[in-house]
Chain A
Amino acid sequence: MPLQTDNVASSHPDGIPAAHLMPFATTLLAALLSLQPVHLPGYVNLTPAFALMTVYYWTIFRPDLLPPLALFGIGVVYDLLSGGLPGVTPFLFLLSRVAVLRCRRWFINRTFSFLWGGFTLLTSAAMAGLWMLHSVLAFQFIGFTGSVFRTALTISLFPILSYLLGRIQFAPIGTG
């Protein structure tokens, strides 16, 4: 089934103003969700990149509601709270936004599998980039098994989050 985007605008012209914060709020919540301690064996290694999912989704469907400044802010907050090197996550988010915006027209009115395929490419590239960046910053080779499994889990969970974000998008926000 083709994804509805611009053609739904008439049924949900602009949405309500408060709902325009949803892309920002869901991305921030997704970032905080990644920090939640889940007491499952090995989970910490596999923590899905929830925020990358929301960044990808909203950049395709409502890039106007998730501007670069918001992404930068969320990225900085994530880095500060996770104890990571400040700047890495904003860099990842902004780079992802640029990459997705360049290809955005290919995803409009396409099937979900096309959207999922795009996310698979983005996540694989992002995780490989993160791994390389951390290895360079640490001056040593960091094992990449964890990153591979994390990538796989992130890609696997995308349909669920995408469905939830779709519900949010088509309920109060509209498609812009």
Chain B
Amino acid sequence: MIILAKIDQVMFEAVRISAADDAAPILDMLSRPPAAIEYIFDRGQGMIHVYQDNLRLVEENKRLLRWQQTALALASENTQLRDLLKLTPEAAVSNVTARVIASSGGAFLRSLLVDAGNNVGVVRDQAAVTGEGLVGRVYEIGARTARILLITDLNSRVPVIVERSRQRAILAGDNSRLPSLSYLDPATAVRSGDRIVTSGEGGVFPPGLPVGIVDTVDRGPPRVEPYAELSQVEYVRIVDYGLTDALPTPVATASPFSRHAGPGTADTANRR
């Protein structure tokens, strides 16, 4: 069965997502009690820290109001410059919010099952994000559920850019908490704390989507701390940037060696 699943990935993918669709109500039901306990616990903590939280939020609000003024000024300037340059307007973005109903449960997979599928317009290869940043992309899609491949998964390859130096790289997951940057130009130094955003290459993610910051650069390839706390994701936004169908549909006999894709073909063919 293992060998068959490795050979005919498409057939097993269909069976897998169909099983997930059928089991979705049970998984959803089972995930409610822990979610309720967490909610009560969070509420309790909130009550305890309400005074300190209020002081912090007042300060944060003052700071955000100053940022709002700056953002409005920049948005106005941006609009004028776009008009001057006659830039093509960006496609409208729509999104669906989905609840996480199951995780991959183990040390060898990094995926999430969410309770939104074809029924609400989710399609394959759409980006999954939280308020903090990129979480992953939809790689299996059913009628009522979708499976999201996290950016930390062994099979995830995301074309990214180091914001400070505009250096392109591939964010490669290896099932650890911190994915690594590969295909970096050795001549350009990457510093700890550098912001990593999507480059838009490969056509799956739009450019500029926040991914994380460089954590360590000492040993081996630089490691990136994702902005989104992937182990604590309860809800994700599945965003349609109008870029879907950029990736080829996997063929029935995908070669196991196709995982070693170069930067130009990143984020392709690496599917289970």
Contact = CB atoms under 8 A, between A and B. Distances in A.
Interface of A: 32-45, 47, 49, 76-78, 80-88, 90-91, 130-131, 134, 137-140, 142-143, 145-147, 150
Interface of B: 1-2, 4-6, 12, 15-16, 19-20, 23, 26-27, 30-31, 34, 38, 100-113, 140, 147, 154, 174-177, 229-234, 256-257, 259, 272
Nearest to B106: A47
8 contacts: A32-B30, A34-B106, A35-B103, A38-B34, A39-B232, A44-B103, A81-B27, A91-B2
Contact of A83 (B2, B147, B175, B232): B147
Given A37-B100, A44-B103, A150-B107, A81 B113 contact: yes
Nearest to B154: A138
- Residue among B16, B20, B112, B174 with max Cβ neighbours from chain A (10 Å): B16
A77 B19 CA distance: 8
- Residue among B104, B109, B113, B272 with max Cβ neighbours from chain A (10 Å): B104
B175 A142 contact: yes
A37 B1 CA distance: 27
B106 A36 contact: no
A87 B1 contact: yes
Contacts of A37: 31, 34, 100-103, 112, 233-234
Contacts of A35: 27, 102-105, 113
B140 A83 contact: yes
Given A34-B106, A40-B232, A83-B140, 8 more contacts: A32-B27, A39-B234, A44-B104, A44-B231, A45-B107, A85-B5, A138-B154, A150-B106
Contacts of B175: 142-143, 146
A116 B232 CA distance: 32
Contact of A80 (B20, B38, B103): B20
A142 to B, nearest CB: 6
B23 A39 contact: no
B176 A130 contact: no
Given A86-B2, A86-B5, A36 B34 contact: yes
A42 B113 contact: no
Nearest to A29: B30
Given A47-B105, A81-B23, A143-B175, A90 B1 contact: yes
A37 B98 CA distance: 14
- Residue among A38, A140, A145 with max Cβ neighbours from chain B (10 Å): A38
Kindly list the 9 A-B residue pairs having the minimum CB-CB distance in the complex, ordered from nearest: A87-B1, A146-B107, A87-B2, A80-B19, A34-B105, A39-B232, A35-B102, A134-B108, A37-B103
Contacts of B20: 80-81
- Residue among A32, A77, A139 with max Cβ neighbours from chain B (10 Å): A32
A172 to B, nearest CB: 23
B108 A84 contact: yes
